Amino acid sequence: MYQLEEPTYFYYLLIIPAMLVLFIGVLWWKKRKQKQFASVDLFKKLSPESSTFKSILKFGVLSFSIALLVIALVNPKMGTKLQTVKREGVDIVFALDVSKSMLAEDIAPSRLDKAKQIITKIIDNLGSDRVGIIVYAGNSYPLLPITTDHAAAKMFLQNANPDMVSSQGTAINEAIEKSITFFDDNEQTNRYLFVVSDGEDHGESALSEVEKATKEGIKVYTIGVGTEKGGPIPIKDNGTIVRYKKDNKGEVVITKLNPKILSEIADTGKGKYIDGNKTQKAIDYINNLLLKANKTEFDAKQFSDYKSQFEWFVAFGLLFLLFDTFLLEKKTKWIQKLNLFNQTKN
């Protein structure tokens, strides 16, 4: 496991593309001036040791050394020891709907992106709570087992998309059934399941699974994203909308938020339906809910004894910088003598 002490220093890497633009500009200017001075063949005779490749190599070595020195400023740290620590918190599982209807853009930027924003901001405010993620459409898929690694949760969440699930539909009942297995600690009394969806195509069979979840001590909350007016489902190519999804009659499908079924699920699960379209209000409500919840102590494994690794990057950065200093832009004579391509001398 690793940590980055000062990740803001990564912005210094922008120096490299700026240098690249300058290098290409100078190279172009040199070539232009050379053509004005003499023809290509004549210039090769006048300056036989000139090498464009060596100039490019020098720039590459310099850029690499700068990158290493920037990483040294960031100071990556490596965890050298895994230990078990006592932590207090609640267990939270997000069941995220990734069906095609979640691609509708009646809520900007889209229902799915809005759902990710809400979950991400909730995770940002968690303390020692454990979190897990399930994605579902026609079937469900465990995206991330329950963990205290909130950074990993956010990383996996950003990759969630409809292509992750093999079939389309809305198998909320399967997602709830799978979420029950995520809460594997029998002593953990505070368990929360947040279903984030537009509620479309959620069948009555979901309610029976919610009843099973409540018997296991799981409180089920639902977060609705989308509008009741609805919107079409875009089909994109390289980020550009090329058409909208149509039904068997050739008419554009309009998908709508179904707050009724989501409210029924929440009521059955002893939770509450939350309007996700009012983003900040929804986040504040959930944060307050989790903050007031009784915390249970549990064991968690985490890396400790983080040691700085910047010395390695400084050493290699200076080494390549030294190499760049002694690297000339002229052709290397001993390589020329090898005559690798069996060139005949005039």
SS (H, E, C) 110-137: CHHHHHHHHHHHHHHCCCCCEEEEEEEC
With respect to residue 81, please indicate whether it lies within any of the assigned structural domains.
no
Count of domains for the chain: 2
Q: Are residues 150 and 253 in the same domain?
A: yes
Q: Are residues 270 and 316 in the same domain?
A: no
With respect to residue 296, please indicate whether it lies within any of the assigned structural domains.
yes
Helix 150-158 vs helix 111-124: crossing angle, to nearest 10: 170
Cβ proximity of 107 and 225 under 8 Å:
yes
pLDDT at 324: 80
Q: Are residues 293 and 318 in the same domain?
A: no
Structure tokens of 53?
A: 């490749």
* Helix or strand (DSSP H, E) at 93: strand 91-97
d(Cα 80, Cα 161) in Å, to the nearest integer?
35
Q: Are residues 177 and 318 in the same domain?
A: no
Of residues 139 and 20, more confidently modeled? 20
With respect to residue 67, please indicate whether it lies within any of the assigned structural domains.
yes
* pLDDT greater than 60 at residue 236: yes
Q: Are residues 26 and 114 in the same domain?
A: no
* pLDDT greater than 50 at residue 330: yes
Of 1, 165, 183, which Cα lies nearest the Cα of 96?
A: 165
pLDDT at 241: 86
With respect to residue 15, please indicate whether it lies within any of the assigned structural domains.
yes
d(Cα 334, Cα 194) in Å, to the nearest integer?
69
Q: Are residues 216 and 250 in the same domain?
A: yes
In this structure, of 232-236, 250-254, 304-308, 312-316, the range with the lowest mean pLDDT score is: 304-308
d(Cα 124, Cα 116) in Å, to the nearest integer?
12
pLDDT at 230: 93
With respect to residue 278, please indicate whether it lies within any of the assigned structural domains.
yes
* pLDDT greater than 90 at residue 112: yes
Q: Average model confidence (pLDDT) for the chain?
A: 82
Q: Are residues 62 and 104 in the same domain?
A: no
CA distances from 141 to 151, 173, 176, 200 (A): 20, 12, 11, 19
Q: Are residues 212 and 294 in the same domain?
A: yes
E strand segments, 114-214: 130-136, 140-147, 191-197
Q: Are residues 103 and 244 in the same domain?
A: yes
252-266: average pLDDT: 92
With respect to residue 150, please indicate whether it lies within any of the assigned structural domains.
yes
With respect to residue 20, please indicate whether it lies within any of the assigned structural domains.
yes
Q: Are residues 211 and 95 in the same domain?
A: yes
* pLDDT greater than 60 at residue 175: yes
Q: Are residues 159 and 240 in the same domain?
A: yes
pLDDT band at 20 (very low <50, low <70, confident <90, very high): very high
CATH number, domain containing residue 170:
3.40.50.410
Full domain range(s) for residue 242:
86-301
Q: Are residues 11 and 98 in the same domain?
A: no
pLDDT band at 341 (very low <50, low <70, confident <90, very high): very low
pLDDT exceeding 70 applies to what percent of the chain? Answer: 78
